[in-house]
Amino acid sequence: MSMNLFSLSSQVAVVTGGGSGIGKAMAETLAGAEAHVIILGRTQSKIEEAADEISSETNAEVTPLTCDVTDKNQVSETVARIMNDFGRIDVLVNNAGTAAYGKVEEISEEDWEHVFNTNLKSAFLMTQAVVPHMKEANYGRIVNTASVAGGVSLFFSSVYGPSKAGLIHFTKQLSGELAPYGITVNAISPWFFKTDFNAESLEDDDFRHSVEQRTPIQRTGRLDELKTSVLYLAAPGSSYVNGQNIYIDGGMTSFGL
């Protein structure tokens, strides 16, 4: 198989929440495949630092743009700017995410709205803004970062889990709607990968042990083990993969009690 099927040379890829953690790892992977990567985030200093680090690692051009992806006006303005500056968007990675944990009676309305706006509404707004340009090009790859919590029940996940389940169904819904235009839509659902987001939790020996016990591979994931998944789904070579949610979980979701 030609490796050109997994080259993103001359393509433009947009990664939301690309300033740290999983999003940054994805952006680095796409840049390494020769895409021009644009990372979106709310904190300019954070995404600028990430862009510099990715450029140093890959020798690729990476553009940081400040954007609150839960704000329709900011999303519209940012996508218009990208199209004006680069003329195309080939890959969209909807990765921006957050969480709130607790028993259902402990979750505030503000928690619910913040999590759903960040995890689901942002993907809707970004996709809505980008799809017309992908349709015009008759090509596109959309990759959504979901979670194992969207497919299985986890303790104290009464808002995070439903938001990710919604993102998984959004993925399936769009896969049929957009396929006639050469656009595929898929999701990846990670289990525990150590990032700044969850580092404190994983430093707790009891918690980390409970995670490892639920995972057949008996450890948390490494970010390099996630990178190949986003490259596969973002690349031309995955043209017949559509509407799928790929668990990157060391076997956790297939493991019974």
Number of H helices, E strands in the chain: 9, 7
pTM for the structure as a whole: 0.93
Q: Tell me what pLDDT residue 1 has.
A: 45
The burial of 56, by beta-carbon neighbours within 10 Å (0-12 exposed, 13-18 middle, 19 or more buried), is given as exposed
Q: Tell me what pLDDT residue 199 has.
A: 64
Whole-angstrom distance, CA of residue 107 vs CA of residue 84 = 42
Annotated catalytic residues are: 160
Any bridge partners for residue 143, and if so which?
Answer: 93, 186
10-residue mean pLDDT profile of the chain (257 residues): values are 80 96 96 97 96 96 97 98 98 94 90 96 98 98 95 85 96 98 97 75 78 84 90 96 95 78
Whole-angstrom distance, CA of residue 106 vs CA of residue 131 = 37
Q: Tell me what pLDDT residue 125 has.
A: 98
Domains and CATH numbers, the chain: 3-250 (3.40.50.720)
Q: Tell me what pLDDT residue 256 has.
A: 59
